[in-house]
Amino acid sequence: MKEVWTTMASMMGVWAFCQSLLHTVFPPELRFASIKLFHRIFSYFSSYCYYDITEIDGVNTNELYNAVQLYLSSSASISGTRLSLTRGLNSSSITFGLSNNDRLTDTFNNVTVEWEHIVTQRQSQTFSWRPLPEEKRGFTLRVRKKNKQLVLNSYLDYVMETASELRRKNQDRLLYTNSRGGSLDSRGHPWESVPFKHPSTFDTLAMDAEKKSEIIADLMDFANGEAFYQKTGRAWKRGYLLYGPPGTGKSSMIAAMANYLGYDIYDLELTEVNTNSELRKLLMKTSSKSIIVIEDIDCSINLTNRNKNNGGGGGGSRKHTYDAVSPPGGDDGGGNTITLSGLLNFTDGLWSCCGSERIFVFTTNHIEKLDPALLRSGRMDMHIHMSYCSFQSLKILLRNYLGFDESDLGEEVLAELEAVVVDAAMTPADVSEVLIKNRRDKRKAVAEVVEALKVRAERNRMRLKSEVDDEEQEKRALDSDKEGCEEKGDHNVEDADDEKIH
């Protein structure tokens, strides 16, 4: 044993001497050049190339690193044997990620690449305006040299786009409001936001299936139409008008659209905006992939006072002027000076192009009160009539609130519902109120709905009969007046008719 230790000590001494001699004969610069030459020779003969993506680029966060980390949290990473689980702020889902120094393969256009997550301790803390993390993190992408151009030109862009889509889907929707008017908060934003938790979807929306399919197809055509809008030179936006009686589900439709597309909602209150300039500032502060909503536009502001004046000279060209308006019930001398032209520029003018992939939604209970300039294509591209309950929408409500399908109701009940639902002209909100009151007793709830529909249908028939009787009575009175005038030799029968009608 003594001889073994002596031999090991001698060998260690020889190794220390050789190392000292090597450092003396070969200075650090020469050793660094030799290692660099070795790496060049190795990379020349190697069929792979490597790309490092570090978390910190200088003192700034590398957005590509965050995108790769989120991209690898998709379903592809679930196949890994060691994964890290995270749940971000304002996120309703758990995401997967690579653990420290783990590897993962990915495939893009039949090309296989390999990702490795490298985590090392930071050797020394250099001077920085902000403290750097103790660990140095980064991803290394390994790809074959023949696929280098594909990765640089397409794959990394695909990673960024996919990460952006995942980030948007994982985060909760936000509902913005301009409750402060045009004033800004401490961060310079005119919008206040709260998490948007509305559960409405197209599956739960009380509407005929054919109409819902048409709306969904139009939304998907818009969301996937970036190339088309760029090719045609059109702004990537679309306008919808939801009109119909109160309680027909216009707000639920907006929530379903937002949940389906994953867009945020900006609820624009026009009565809180004083000038066209403030309106433009609000528009500029909205984000892409959002729905801008103006509810009850016929009530929130007066947009029907458009005057048409003939311009003098120049061939008698016609010039449109738009009067300033004030909120309903406000003083004409108030501070609100939004004009119809300002709103039109907001929806389809130059200022509407300061963003992309945005939807404008207007709601109204009285479409006949709106100015025709607002209704044309390009401002309100699709008009959606939110009507009373049909038989199909009634079955959706029964399924939502009671969990009843057609087989649970029975043919007799279905026949009763189908016979009276159209004549009843009840809104989904009215039917929902009946179901909510009796939701603990499902059979009683169905019976109450049938009874409510019958009562409403009978009331509508009586009112219609009364209106018809009134019209017939007025017609008989008018005919009697005509006969009386003829007997008296009155030659102004037409004037009498006009006066009676008036």
pLDDT tens digits, one per residue of 412-434: 888 888 888 888 889 999 999 99
Q: How confident is the model at residue 128 (pLDDT cuts 50, 70, 90)?
A: low
Pair (199, 348) in one structural domain: yes
Q: Identify whether 8 is part of a domain.
A: no
Question: The whole model's pTM is what?
Answer: 0.66
Pair (404, 480) in one structural domain: yes
d(CA 357, CA 237): 5
Q: Identify whether 366 is part of a domain.
A: yes
C-alpha closest to that of 168 among 94, 91, 238:
91
Q: Is the pLDDT of residue 335 over 80?
A: no
d(CA 381, CA 398): 32
CATH of the domain at 298: 3.40.50.300
pLDDT at site 104? 81
Pair (185, 261) in one structural domain: yes
Q: Identity (one letter) of the amino acid at 491?
A: H
Q: Identity (one letter) of the amino acid at 411?
A: E
Residue 80 φ then ψ, to 5°:
-70, 160
Token pair of 238 as six digits: 């679309």
Pair (374, 412) in one structural domain: no
Q: Is the pLDDT of residue 57 over 80?
A: no
Alpha helix positions (H), 175-325: 209-223, 226-232, 250-261, 276-284, 297-300
pLDDT at site 282? 86
pLDDT at site 313? 38
Find all residues with CB under 8 Å of 409, minimum gap 6, and list them.
Answer: 398, 417, 446
Pair (352, 278) in one structural domain: yes
Pair (420, 336) in one structural domain: no
The H or E element that residue 20 is part of is: helix 2-25
Pair (335, 202) in one structural domain: yes
Q: Is the pLDDT of residue 218 over 90?
A: yes
Token pair of 377 as six digits: 């294509």
Pair (478, 406) in one structural domain: yes
End position of a domain, from candidates 385, 400, 419: 385
Alpha helix positions (H), 113-192: 148-150, 156-170
Q: Identify whether 153 is part of a domain.
A: yes
Pair (250, 294) in one structural domain: yes
Query: CB atoms < 10 A from the CB of 38, how many?
Result: 10
> Computed from CA positions of residues 239, 245, 248, 252, in that sequence, does the dihedral angle turn out positive or negative?
positive
C-alpha closest to that of 445 among 431, 459, 426:
431
Q: Identify whether 64 is part of a domain.
A: yes
pLDDT at site 334? 46
Token pair of 153 as six digits: 């030109």
DSSP 441: S
Query: CB atoms < 10 A from the CB of 318, how many?
Result: 8
Pair (348, 441) in one structural domain: no
Q: Is the pLDDT of residue 314 over 70?
A: no
Top-confidence range, 116-130, 261-275, 477-491: 261-275
CB 232 within 8 A of CB 188: no
Q: What is the mean pLDDT of residues 60-85?
A: 71
Token pair of 111 as six digits: 């090309």
d(CA 307, CA 330): 21
Q: Identify whether 3 is part of a domain.
A: no
Of residues 5 and 78, the one with the higher pLDDT is 5
Which of the residue ranges 194-203, 262-271, 371-380, 388-397 would you say has the lowest mean pLDDT? 371-380
Q: Identify whether 7 is part of a domain.
A: no
d(CA 95, CA 69): 10
Distance from chain centroid for Cα 101: 37
Q: Are strands 264-267 and 173-177 parallel, antiparallel or unpaired?
A: parallel
Q: How confident is the model at residue 178 (pLDDT cuts 50, 70, 90)?
A: confident
Which of the residue ranges 109-113, 118-122, 155-159, 386-390 would you say has the lowest mean pLDDT? 118-122
CB 203 within 8 A of CB 180: no
DSSP secondary structure of 368-383: GGS-HHHHSTTTS-EE
Q: Is the pLDDT of residue 308 over 50?
A: no
Question: Chain-wide mean pLDDT for the chain?
Answer: 78
Query: Which range marks the domain in which residue 58 is found?
Result: 50-122+133-166
Token pair of 248 as six digits: 């027909």
pLDDT at site 252? 93
d(CA 475, CA 467): 12
Pair (378, 465) in one structural domain: no
Q: Identify whether 327 is part of a domain.
A: yes
Q: Is the pLDDT of residue 7 over 80?
A: yes
Q: Count each helix (H run) and each strand (E run) in the chain, helices first.
A: 18, 17
What percentage of the chain has pLDDT greater than the value 90?
Answer: 17
d(CA 240, CA 343): 15
- Report the number of distinct structural domains present in the chain: 3
Which of the residue ranges 262-266, 295-299, 395-399 would you say has the lowest mean pLDDT? 295-299
Pair (162, 263) in one structural domain: no
